[in-house]
Structure 1
Amino acid sequence: MQKRLTAAAVGCAMLAAGWVNDARAFEGGVSPYPAGAVGTNIANLPPIPGLFALEQFNYSYANGLYGNDGNKLPIPFRSDVYSATTRLLLAYPFQLLGANVFTQLVIPVVSLHTSVYGQSNTQNGLSNITLTPVLLQWHLTQNLAIASGIDVAFETGSYSPVKSSVSVGYTSVQPVISVRYNVPNGIDLGLANRFLLNEKNGTTNYSSGDGYVGEFEAGWNIGPWKLGVVGAYLNQFSDDKADGVNVGNRMRTFGIGPSIVYDARSWSVNLNYQQGVYAANTAKSNNVWLNIAIPLWPGFGRKG
């Protein structure tokens, strides 16, 4: 959520400053997926059936807008975004195609604060709800797992076509495939690949281009602790279209930073910071994430 919301502020800043044609990517500069949100949870799913929750708390801030060449634009801009996201994961007591089966529901609530040329604005509300109807995970070896599914970010939430919003005004279909190699008291490597296939906004007749998000994590397990790094790369690979006419500019971002995990088996906590290193046609956001995974109803449907 955080980058989506920061980008919503970016869109308004660009409109206010008259930079629409020079520095706009996705509609209003908004990514339909918050690159970096997965953190250390790449292909990391519970091994038993039940209902589980991942509570994510995020603070994101940005102090500038960046053009198509990656250079900072001369626009006085500031954004602060606070989000609380509940990810509900239902793990079924059966397998499909040799894989464990899950369903996921993501419910984000966000508070967005922006300042452009000294003019402040605040928006609070529900962001786009995301559903993964079927999520599959294969354990190829004891330490190697692959997970795949299709996320659908629905056209929901507090959206407005004329001001900064905490949601986007269109549906985004997002195929995901992730791989994880994790050794107890050893190395942990993960990569999540996500494609953003965006539908047209029926309110504005604007079609945001499609994109790719690569999220990664690397660390070392030391008992229940894990120290490492997390990060994400976003690349919009097709142009936006306004009323059928190509807008041209495309969003690109890259962020990376340190991460620490404490895994108590039945629950876990992850704290990570992702520094914005590069941005084009959006803001360069810095993010602090606190992720808490807890079981709500473990072991349901288990025989015996």
Structure 2
Amino acid sequence: MKKIIPKASFLLLLALAANSAFATENGADSFALGAEGMMAGALPPPGLYLLNYYQNYHAGSFDQGPDSFHLDVNAFIPRLVWMTEHNYFGGQLGFYAAQPLVDLRLSINGMSDHNAAFGDLILGSMLGWHSGHHHWIGAIETVLATGKYDTPTAFQPVIANLGKNYNTIRPIIAYTYAPENGFDLSTKLSYSFNDENDDTHYKSGEYFAGDYSLGYKLNNHVKLAIEGYAFKQMTSDRVNGDDIGQKGQVLAVGPAIQYQDQNWSIEAKYLKETNVENRPEGHTGLLKFVWAF
């Protein structure tokens, strides 16, 4: 028998890890929706790289959630990438780590909370292949429940948590086609497996997520693109082992621009969400800065 969960179950909103992304338990998750865009499937040569992401996300409604809902997230996510000189199965080996710093303001039905601290730590390893104009990446990523988390209570049902309080394993593939005519077709796809939140006995469902980008190089420094992301939850959430029938989805699209020089680049984008189910609905602005040491 399906267990019915009242709207009060949505009062807890957790923040992202690599980006603001809302799905699964109480509308929150850790996949970096929209973070990647142009040349997402092309790994750089051996060396050390610093990627800095900044995101501002605002949502003023929650599909199938509370009547009055406002969420503002500002996140800064430094990501250190080390590309080695080792090759396995013909692919170049690399590692990365990301530690989000999150400022989250949440208001639901007249109740509000605000927190600013570290989110959940992300660790990953990857292999990259190149063949002419084609580039591929295969990766495995782990999101560890290291961020600040407090269990909601009857006295404090609204908590702006910065961690999810459960771990995630995520296989990832990415692809880029970049011919000499200046076009850049890129995508990054993932599938997430979540364990149970021991404090709430809530197990978030498995889900597919992906970023996409269609760009064009105007000159040696500037690229323009249409970018976005898609999210689709494939299995329902469970509470105490019972299927509660909650599945989220969203699609986002918007413009992007990138400027690159010899050892650095910066990309900016604005994405608007649509086709939302069982999640907050909003818009996001992102900046991505890459520096090669």
User: Which bracket does the TM-score occupy, shorter chain normalised?
Assistant: 0.7 to 0.9
Q: Please, which of 265, 285, 290 is the counterpart of residue 288 of structure 1?
A: 285
Matching residue within 150, 156, 174 for 1:160:
150
Shift of 1:96: 1.6
Three-state SS of the structure 2 residue aligned to 1:196 is strand
Map of 2:27 onto structure 1: 29
Q: Deviations over 1:41-80 (max 9, x none)?
A: 5123212x2110100111110111112xxxxx66121111
Specify the alignment match of 2:191 in structure 1: 195
* Counterpart contact for 2:36–2:211, Cα < 8 Å: yes
Whether the 8 Å contact between 1:185 and 1:222 is mirrored in structure 2 is: no
> Which residue identity does 1:91 align to in structure 2?
M
Determine the C-alpha separation between the residues in 2 that align with 1:62 and 1:243.
29
CA distance 1:200–1:188, change in 2 (3 Å): same
Inter-partner Cα distance in structure 2 for 1:275 and 1:32:
19
Alignment RMSD (CA, Å): 1.9
Q: Which runs of 4+ in 1 moved over 6 A?
A: none
Q: C-alpha distance in 2, partners of 1:235/1:126? A: 27
**SS at structure 2 position matched to 1:53:** strand
Q: Does 1:112 align with 2:92?
A: no
The offset of 1:120, in angstroms, is 2.7
Contact 1:25 1:249 in 2 (8 A): no
Q: TM-score, normalised by structure 2?
A: 0.87
Q: Using the alignment, how far apart are the partners of 1:165 and 1:41 within structure 2?
A: 33
Cα 1:13–1:184, aligned 2, differ >3 Å: closer, same or farther? farther
> Structure 2: which amino acid aligns with 1:245?
D
C-alpha distance in 1 between matches for 2:41 and 2:23: 29
Post-superposition shift, 1:256? 0.7
Aligned to 2:100, the other structure's residue is in SS state: strand
1:54 is matched with which residue?
A: 51
Indicate the residue corresponding to 2:122 in structure 1. Answer: 130
Q: Percent identity?
A: 25
- Tell me what 1:92 maps to: 84
Going from structure 1 to structure 2, the CA distance change for 1:171 and 1:244 (only over 3 Å counts) comes to same
Q: Say if 2:281 is the partner of 1:272.
A: no
**Structure 1 counterpart of 2:252, one-letter code:** G
Counterparts in 2 of 1:101 and 1:276: CA distance versus 1, 3 Å: same
Find the counterpart in structure 2 of residue 238 from structure 1.
Answer: 235
TM-score when scaled to structure 1?
0.84
1:98, CA displacement in angstroms?
A: 1.1
Amino acid at match of 1:208: S
Aligned length: 271
Structure 1 residues 161 and 34: CA distance shift in structure 2, 3 A: farther
